[in-house]
Amino acid sequence: MKHHHRNPRARGGRKRQSARRDPLIGFEAPVTIEQVGARGDGIAHVSAPDGRSVLVYVDCVLPGDEVQVALRSKRGDGYGAEVIAEISRVAAFNEPRCAHFKDCGGCALQHMADDQYRDWKRDKAKVAVQRAGLDADEAEQLVAPVEVSPPQSRRRAGFAVHVGATGVHVGFHGRFSHTVLNVPDCAVLRPELMAFREAFVRFLEACPPDEARDIKEVFVNLADNGLDVVIHAAKDPGLDMRQDLAEFAGDIELARLSWKSGDQPDEPLAARHTPLVKFHGVDVAVPPGGFLQATREGEHALVTAVTSALERIAPRQVADLFCGVGSFTFALALAGKRRSVLAVESDPRAVELLQYAVGQSGSPIQVVKRDLFRQPLTGDELGSLDLVVFDPPRAGALSQAEQLAVSGPEWIIAMSCNPATFSRDIRVLRNGGYELEQVVPVDQFLWSSHLEMFALLRRK
């Protein structure tokens, strides 16, 4: 019987051909590292067998290093390469501070001398300023020295979890890999987080393997009064697992332990007390997995930059956009002379907790729930303000920046954890008549390529 509904262009029985292997994968060559790129990897060029000059990215090297590399994977416009032999190293090469450095994907620059590392981070900030439309001399004058958080200061982390035939792995993904590496010590994280990781490994080793295998990640926040932990898993825990986790949380004195299955809301399984952080003398509760600045030192540097600007501006009406649970809100309202603050955030839990803290403290703050990506503050709402502060997620604040460029107040403080979107948003504001007055780079992500930036702008 003929199948008249069959696609006449289909070629039945023809086998799909496998993708052709890249002939450069596995190619080996000596290279001299030219510079450190934006992601912290070394950049060099090699001559391919066909005579082409090929861009390669090499981990754990410094400018001037001569190394033999093997090309391992296609990466953007070039190839990721692995060092297979060292020919010569520059004098500035430091012994890494961590035994997992070359394998773990968390740090990229532990081998860089401290002064060179600070210069590299400041250069990264200067590049971001130049991409916003300023020249190199202006960037050099505007960008302050980098505020660097010390080792073992990071207070939040997401540990990847894998339980399988090779045992329990709680740590971080390998460099450009999905493999979970056990990291029994870490030069970046607070000791409290590492002590939790060790206890959690022992807990998982004692669990039935089928139940432990469901756990994919555990997120840990160090609040001022203890650890707040959220376990991310494939499905809900059974009764025995709930009881075991409650006992585990009590044994190691967690402030709170919650469980999150897929896209479902997190469920508290044990809570000795509510995790709290103090902002300008006001205690604020943190939701499970809630956002905190990565280090207390970094938060202090940003708050200091904000309060110093307040002395110069002397505003009366302020808006704090993308405010979270109030990292800067209370400093804006209470530092020096009290001033009215409109605090805007889209996360309903953060809004609720911030409203409660405001009510308890009697601060002159109005908290509003609003999605600023879809509903940025516009004309009349911006017209009554003296200062707008915004600290958005990595995606930046393009819609809000466009409104500020048209109707914003005299002063703006912009903060960002992504130099790329920082450049874009600052360029929009400059096109609207604002000028950069100050830029402070804050490094809360030690030995990584990430960088936080503070900028003060004024409409001339």
**Are 177 and 325 in the same domain?**
no
User: How confident is the model over 280-305, as pLDDT tens digits?
Assistant: 999 999 999 999 999 999 999 999 99
* Mean pLDDT, range 116-143, rounded to an integer: 97
- Its pTM stands at 0.91
**Are 135 and 185 in the same domain?**
no
Contact, 159 vs 217, CB < 8 A? yes
Query: Across all residues in the chain, what is the average pLDDT?
Result: 93
Residue 287 in any domain: the answer is no
User: How confident is the model over 407-425, as pLDDT tens digits?
Assistant: 999 999 999 999 999 999 9
User: How confident is the model over 58-70, as pLDDT tens digits?
Assistant: 998 999 999 999 9
**Are 323 and 453 in the same domain?**
yes
Nearest by Cα to 384 from 396, 360, 366, 398: 366
Domain boundary among the residues 274, 301, 331 is at: 274
**Are 441 and 381 in the same domain?**
yes
Q: What is the rounded distance in angstroms from the CA atom of residue 151 to the CA atom of residue 364?
A: 37
Q: What is the CATH number of the domain that holds 48?
A: 2.40.50.140
Whole-number pLDDT of residue 105: 80
Whole-number pLDDT of residue 15: 52
Structural domain including 322 reads 121-150+292-459
**Are 440 and 364 in the same domain?**
yes
- Flag whether pLDDT at 444 surpasses 70: yes
**Are 257 and 372 in the same domain?**
no
- Number of domains, the chain: 3
User: How confident is the model over 181-237, as pLDDT tens digits?
Assistant: 999 999 999 999 999 999 999 999 999 999 999 999 999 999 999 999 999 999 999
Residue 104 in any domain: the answer is no
pLDDT band at 8 (very low <50, low <70, confident <90, very high): very low
**Are 359 and 375 in the same domain?**
yes
**Are 357 and 208 in the same domain?**
no
- Flag whether pLDDT at 5 surpasses 90: no
Q: What is the amino acid identity at position 99? A: A
Residue 422 in any domain: the answer is yes
Whole-number pLDDT of residue 4: 46
DSSP 189: B
Q: What is the rounded distance in angstroms from the CA atom of residue 272 to the CA atom of residue 249?
A: 9
**Are 267 and 297 in the same domain?**
no
* Mean pLDDT, range 157-177, rounded to an integer: 92
**Are 330 and 440 in the same domain?**
yes
Residue 144 in any domain: the answer is yes
pLDDT band at 109 (very low <50, low <70, confident <90, very high): very high
**Are 41 and 185 in the same domain?**
no
Residue 78 exposure: Cα atoms within 13 Å on the Cβ side: 18
**Are 425 and 443 in the same domain?**
yes
pLDDT band at 6 (very low <50, low <70, confident <90, very high): very low
Whole-number pLDDT of residue 195: 98
Q: Is the dihedral of CA 5, 8, 10, 14 positive or negative?
A: positive
**Annotated catalytic sites, by residue?**
417
